[in-house]
Amino acid sequence: MFFKIQRIVPVLLLIGTLHSCSEYQKVLKNEDVKAKYDLAQKFYEEGDMKRANRLFEQIAPKYVGKPQGERVMFFFADTYFQRGDFNMAGYQFERFVKSYPKSEKVAEASFYGAKSYFELSPRYSLDQTDTDKALIKLQSFINMYPDSEYFAEANEMAKDLTTKKEKKAYEIGKQYNKLGEFDFTFLNPAISAFDNFISDFPGSIYREDAMYYRFESATQFALNSFDRLKPERVKEAQADYNALKKQFPETKYAERAEKLLNKLTSDQQEFIQEKEAK
């Protein structure tokens, strides 16, 4: 008896699946909007977002301006999100917010629209257009819905994206700094990149690193400069050292920074001696 039941259950599941597919194909092809609506909602509740999405796509234009339109448009947007199509999800949630600004779902739609762009944000080394867009959407949500249940999650996502942008800006400076080891002309862009980073991200977790590498770039730039430019650039590099030590007295770069400062001091003394000898 047990083995018979074991054989029967898969058969019943197969029959149920075939019936569901047959019903879906039948409803998909006919013009009965109510039947499509009911089946789309059934699939949505069961988690079958692919078929629910296809049906909602067909009926969404039919419900514009009708009482069920709000519900249809929200579910339609959410099926895209649940399927991982974040481009379309972001677009459809934005449409929902614009179409139903007084809906009780507007805060949730705003959040998931912003989260869609968050999911599209690439790793820090790539173009950050979607990251910028997500930050704008998240900040707008945070400002408009401070009491939302999604507020904390939105803040965390905004923090993650800001850190990603900081990482990209910092790595640009680091890349120029590295290239400067082989080509002196890259050191000035490195200094500018670190200046921009320090100005744009005053509270960054990479601030200490940026200040050190700004000093390192400025030191190498000064040491490789023409004699007539060297005194001013040495002073600038020394000022960077003082700024680093002032803000980070126990900096992890202390030993390396001291060695660079000694090079600057030694080079400065040699320059003065040569000038006096002339």
CA 125 to centroid of chain Cα atoms: 11
Give SS3 for 23. Answer: helix
pLDDT attached to residue 230: 87
Mention every residue, 6+ apart, whose C-beta is less than 8 A from residue 206: 166, 167, 170, 197
Residue ranges of alpha helices (H) inside 125-249 are: 129-144, 151-179, 187-200, 207-223, 230-247
Instruction: Examine the pLDDT at 260 and tell me if it is beyond 80.
Output: yes
Whether 169 and 205 have beta carbons less than 8 Å apart is answered as: no
Q: How far apart are CA 139 and CA 143, in angstroms?
A: 6
Instruction: Work out the angle at residue 17's Cα, subtended by the Cα atoms of residues 11 and 21, and round it to the nearest 5 degrees.
Output: 145
Q: 205 vs 126, 208, 241, 243, CA distance in Å?
A: 20, 7, 19, 17
User: How many C-beta atoms surround the C-beta of residue 243 within 10 A?
Assistant: 14
- For 94-132, what is each residue's pLDDT tens digit? 999 999 999 999 999 999 999 999 999 999 888 899 999
Spatial separation of the C-alpha atoms in residues 253 and 216, rounded to whole Å: 10
What is the rounded CA–CA span in Å between residue 95 and residue 87? Answer: 13
CA distance 69 to 95: 12
Cβ neighbors of 13 (< 8 A, separation 6 or more) are none
**Which string of DSSP letters, residue by residue, matches 87-135?**
HHHHHHHHHHHHH-TT-TTHHHHHHHHHHHHHHH---TTS--HHHHHHH
For residue 277, give both structure tokens.
């000898």
Confidence of residue 24 (pLDDT cuts 50, 70, 90): confident
Q: Averaged over 58-87, what is the pLDDT? A: 94
Q: Mean pLDDT over all residues of the chain?
A: 89
Torsion of CA 263, 264, 267, 273, to 10 degrees: -130
Q: Which residue has the higher pLDDT, 110 or 22?
A: 110
- The reported pLDDT for the residue numbered 2 is 43
Lowest-pLDDT range of 93-102, 141-150, 233-242, 266-275: 266-275
CA 62 from centre of chain: 36
Output the pLDDT for position 242.
Answer: 97
Q: Output the furthest CA–CA distance in the chain (Å, rounded).
A: 110
Contact indicator for 170, 176 with CB cutoff of 8 Å: no
Q: What are the tens digits of pLDDT across the range 205-250?
A: 999 999 999 999 999 999 998 888 888 999 999 999 999 999 999 9
Query: Is the predicted pLDDT of residue 13 greater than 90, yes or no?
Result: no
Q: Which of these, 216, 211, 172, lies nearest to 195 by C-alpha position?
A: 211
pLDDT(20) > 60: no
